[in-house]
Amino acid sequence: MEEMLPPRRVYGADHEDPDPGPQPGHVYRELVGGPLDGLLLDVTGWSTPELTTGAALNTEIGAYGAGGRAEYLPRPSDPRKWDWNGDTR
């Protein structure tokens, strides 16, 4: 029997959104570890330098609560996955 996985949610999608998952024609990176583990980040239209730098993403569930950020960097062995690098203010 095939395991049913929950649909993937995109970072920034509203919790009330009836379809918070990936959309056709968009490009995503998987966030791994930290407070945003398992979410997808929509990087559609990002430049090459932006994609190689990573991102500090707003989150209320990190070490600093509201106003904090979780830093994610591309994984050298698989840049489609971005690994958590810690929380910042």
Question: What's the rounded mean pLDDT across residues 24-34?
Answer: 96
Report yes or no on 62 lying in a domain. yes
Verdict on whether the full-model pTM lies above 0.75: yes
Report yes or no on 5 lying in a domain. no
Report yes or no on 7 lying in a domain. no
Report yes or no on 13 lying in a domain. no
pLDDT above 70 covers a percentage of the chain that reads: 93
Report yes or no on 18 lying in a domain. no
Report yes or no on 4 lying in a domain. no
The pLDDT, as a whole number, for residue 5 is 59
Longest dimension (CA), the chain: 45
Tell me: pLDDT of 65 over 80: yes
pLDDT bin (cut points 50, 70, 90) of residue 6 is low
Count of structural domains within the chain: 1
pLDDT bin (cut points 50, 70, 90) of residue 8 is confident
Distances (CA, A) of 26 to 10, 21, 32, 61: 11, 11, 19, 26
3-state class of 51 per DSSP?
A: helix
Distances (CA, A) of 7 to 13, 35, 41, 79: 13, 18, 14, 22
Report yes or no on 68 lying in a domain. yes
What are 33's two structure tokens? 């570890």
Structural domain range at position 70? 28-88
Beta-strand pair 28-32/68-75: unpaired
Report yes or no on 34 lying in a domain. yes
